[in-house]
Amino acid sequence: MKRIVTIQDVSCVGKCSLTVALPIISAMGVETAIIPTAVLSTHTMFKGFTFDDLTDQIRPIWEHWLNEGIKFDAIYTGYLGSFEQLNLMSEFIDKFGAEGALKVIDPCMADNGSLYPGFTQEFALEMAKLCSKADIVVPNLTEASFMLQTPYVASGYNVEYVKDVLHKLAALGAKKVVLKGVVFDAEQPGLSNVVGKIGIASLDSTTGEIDWYFHEKQSQSFHGTGDIFASVLTGAMMRGLSLHDSYALAGDFVVESIKQTLSHEPHNNYGVDFETAFPMLINRLAAQAK
């Protein structure tokens, strides 16, 4: 069985970060070790959340693992809360990623044109440096614009714009870029039937290949779906799916989770009901995994 380590916060209520990564990646048949970077009562979209920083635990945890000879097939980092944590992750990747572990970095810090509370442009530039160490980075268009220091374009862009963003992200140094949340207002040359959908664009910087996957756009968006996406992508890569099949499964699982949420009344408005979408994930994985 493959073993991964994921490093992000515990938001005790909120259905994001470790409370989605752990169940999802485990359910995909992959051992999931964790380093919790902080404990919050909820994610930061709630008012009045508590926050206990666990930065001082990160190095002692990994030093114990080094003594025990523990190794990982993948390293997946998500929400990181400080410059110090970014530096620690850079060191962690050097130590635990040297023997070929897949490095997935989700530069989780922004959406819909704005940074999440507590983040700054300066932090985004440091996150961009960490992304240079990744095999796969999975930003949304907002995170891309902060890391590239380019204006956020909410709509009306074309395929050439997205390709340009992909190339600029790849120039940060990551081997593969998976860009989320691409929405075209008009049909685009070389792509078919994209209007009204939401998509993922990828660039493999080693081959120069650009690839796409468009799926249904839901009427409502929810918190934590980026974490679900990155978790499924990491789990699927570990189960032997191609990058394209991994992000297609991740996108479809997010859609199914949103549909489940909307079908449950009353549903919460802070995260999605991925729990009842598991049958779809497991069935697709069983059909596609190596």
Residues that bind ligand PXL (CB under 6 A): 9, 11, 16-17, 40, 43-45, 79, 108, 116, 223-224, 226-227
Q: How far is the CB of 37 from ligand PXL (least distance, A)?
A: 9
Cα 3 to Cα 146: distance, rounded to the nearest angstrom: 32
Contact between 233 and 28 (Cβ < 8 Å): no
Query: Which residue matches tokens 């992508």?
Result: 233
Cα 32 to Cα 59: distance, rounded to the nearest angstrom: 19
Q: Please say which residue, 17 or 260, places its beta carbon nearer to ligand PXL.
A: 17
The burial of 263, by beta-carbon neighbours within 10 Å (0-12 exposed, 13-18 middle, 19 or more buried), is given as exposed
Q: Please say which residue, 9 or 73, places its beta carbon nearer to ligand PXL.
A: 9
Cα 179 to Cα 181: distance, rounded to the nearest angstrom: 7
Q: How far is the CB of 20 from ligand PXL (least distance, A)?
A: 8
Neighbours of 87 (CB within 10 A): 14
Which amino acid is residue 121, in one-letter code?
Q
Q: Please say which residue, 29 or 36, places its beta carbon nearer to ligand PXL.
A: 36
Q: Please say which residue, 162 or 228, places its beta carbon nearer to ligand PXL.
A: 228
Q: What are the angstrom distances between the C-alpha of 137 and each of 71, 132, 204, 258?
A: 21, 9, 11, 23
Q: Please say which residue, 9 or 256, places its beta carbon nearer to ligand PXL.
A: 9
Q: How far is the CB of 110 from ligand PXL (least distance, A)?
A: 9
Residues in the chain: 290
Q: How far is the CB of 109 from ligand PXL (least distance, A)?
A: 8
Cis peptide before 151 (omega within 30 of 0): no
Q: How far is the CB of 225 from ligand PXL (least distance, A)?
A: 8
Q: How far is the CB of 201 from ligand PXL (least distance, A)?
A: 21
Q: Please say which residue, 72 or 119, places its beta carbon nearer to ligand PXL.
A: 119
- Per-residue burial over 94-122, b if 16 or more Cβ lie within 10 Å, else e, is eebbeeebbbbbbbbbbbeeebbeebeee
Q: Please say which residue, 245 or 273, places its beta carbon nearer to ligand PXL.
A: 273
Q: How far is the CB of 41 from ligand PXL (least distance, A)?
A: 10
Contact between 181 and 198 (Cβ < 8 Å): yes
